Amino acid sequence: MELNKRPVLSELWQFLKGFLTILFPPSCLICDKALSIGTENEDLFGLNVCPGCKDQISVLKPPFCVLCSTPFRTSSAESHLCGYCIRKRPHFDLLLSPFVYERGIEKIIAQFKYGSSGREGKSLGNVMGRFLRERYPLKGDEILIPVPLHPKREKERGFNQTLLLSYGIREVIGIQILKDAIRRNVYTKSQTGLNMKEREANVKGVFGLKEREKIAGKSILLVDDVATTGSTLSECAKLLKRGGAKKVVCLVLGRAPFSA
Ligand SMILES: [Zn+2]
Ligand SMILES: [Zn+2]
């Protein structure tokens, strides 16, 4: 009897989910207009935006840096290693992002991060999961690690946005989350407005590694909402590599062009 119970429950859940979508259709993440059913934006990995707002979203397309995905300004160039990665190699092995961090994506992330509920996190994580499934050869034994907030900032915000995104990613690709692997020990000022050197100095030594035994020999998918200079992700990757991680691939929702 027990064996038959789960599929029935999962079918019932799928049915209920479909029913709820009809009653409460998803709304556009930019203008809040209700979206009509059956118009998922496959070209945007299922991002909930209406046809009128779609042109505010830039999918990250080549040419870009083959390591940190920084988009190049000239569209005629081939993808190659960018100047920043040549001068100072980041500690992660690869950084992936479905979108450029500008216009619509900037708005969506700001609303999610600074809004009160964080309820968009799961659907945005689903988008990241679909993108990853399409673009990266997953083995299935990877571990998701969200970049942590300092406990004080998490308390102020009410949630950690990278953990909510990780739940959404897990829903699509079905791999485990190790949520307390990295701890932010120092309450740092916001990275906004800082240049690359200042950002590096701001995050240097602020993280600590926990659960080292669960990281050794593993491939890590490190999750953040945005990559600007990549300093935070590189600092976390350095720690994970020192802890014995085999590979660190970063996944973000928006990749900013360098401004520093
Ligand atoms: Zn809209
Ligand atoms: Zn690069």
Is residue 212 pLDDT above 80, yes or no?
A: yes
Q: Which ligand is nearest to the CA of 196?
A: 2
Total domains in the chain come to 2
Q: Is 244 left (phi over 0), alpha (psi -120 to 50) or beta?
A: left
Residues 86 and 16 grouped into a single domain: no
Residues 65 and 17 grouped into a single domain: no
- For residues 2 and 5, give the distance between their C-alpha atoms in angstroms, rounded to a whole number: 5
CA 27 / ligand 2 centre spacing (Å): 35
With respect to residue 260, please indicate whether it lies within any of the assigned structural domains.
Answer: no
pLDDT in tens, 217-243: 999 999 999 999 899 999 999 999 999
pLDDT in tens, 115-132: 878 889 999 999 999 999
Q: What is the CATH number of the domain that holds 69?
A: 3.40.50.2020
Residues 162 and 251 grouped into a single domain: yes
With respect to residue 69, please indicate whether it lies within any of the assigned structural domains.
Answer: yes
- For residues 171 and 125, give the distance between their C-alpha atoms in angstroms, rounded to a whole number: 8
With respect to residue 49, please indicate whether it lies within any of the assigned structural domains.
Answer: no
With respect to residue 67, please indicate whether it lies within any of the assigned structural domains.
Answer: yes
CA 230 / ligand 2 centre spacing (Å): 9
Whole domain around residue 16: which residue ranges?
2-42
Residues 62 and 170 grouped into a single domain: yes
Per the CB < 8 A criterion, the answer to whether 209 and 235 are in contact is no
Residues 62 and 15 grouped into a single domain: no
Residues 36 and 120 grouped into a single domain: no
Residues 77 and 101 grouped into a single domain: yes
With respect to residue 50, please indicate whether it lies within any of the assigned structural domains.
Answer: no
Dig out the tokens for 27 from the structure: 């709304």
With respect to residue 52, please indicate whether it lies within any of the assigned structural domains.
Answer: no
- What is this structure's pTM? 0.89
CA 113 / ligand 2 centre spacing (Å): 26
CA 106 / ligand 2 centre spacing (Å): 21
Residues 26 and 69 grouped into a single domain: no
pLDDT in tens, 19-53: 776 677 789 999 999 998 777 899 999 999 999 99
